[in-house]
Amino acid sequence: MKTFKGFKSNSIDWKMLHEQLILNTEIIKEGWRSVRKNSAATVSNLTHEFGMLTLDELQRLKDFGIIKFDYFSNLKSPFPTIPNNEYLDFNTFKIKGTEILN
């Protein structure tokens, strides 16, 4: 699993976040049998373990449709994913995310 060590809690590494969300999206599509499922990051991973962004920031991105919370059938923790192909483009994702959180 990627770590986000060295980042301030109020600064978002948009590139790293985007890469993780794309990975989560691919893993969810592959299903719970995915050999990469241990690389997925939950909401808790992103907000508490990595300290990359706050739960409120993540929720705001969800409220505006940039991300959504998906679940593996056997796990309770949600995995943030990218629901709209438009946001698979990094620049579009970053511009919209920055706009929402500022």
Q: From first to last of its 102 residues, what are the pLDDT tens digits of the chain?
A: 343 343 333 478 999 999 999 999 998 888 878 888 788 899 989 988 777 899 999 999 999 999 999 987 666 779 999 999 999 999 999 999 999 998
Contacts of 85 (CB under 8 A, 6+ apart): none
Structural domains of the chain, count: 1
φ, ψ for residue 39, nearest 5 deg: -95, -5
**Is residue 5, in this structure, part of any structural domain at all?**
no
Among residues 18, 29, 26, 20, which one has the least CA distance to residue 87? 18
Which CATH number does the domain housing residue 56 bear? 1.10.10
Give the pLDDT confidence score for residue 73 in this predicted structure.
Answer: 61
Name the pTM for this structure. 0.83
Q: Does 56 fall in a domain?
A: yes
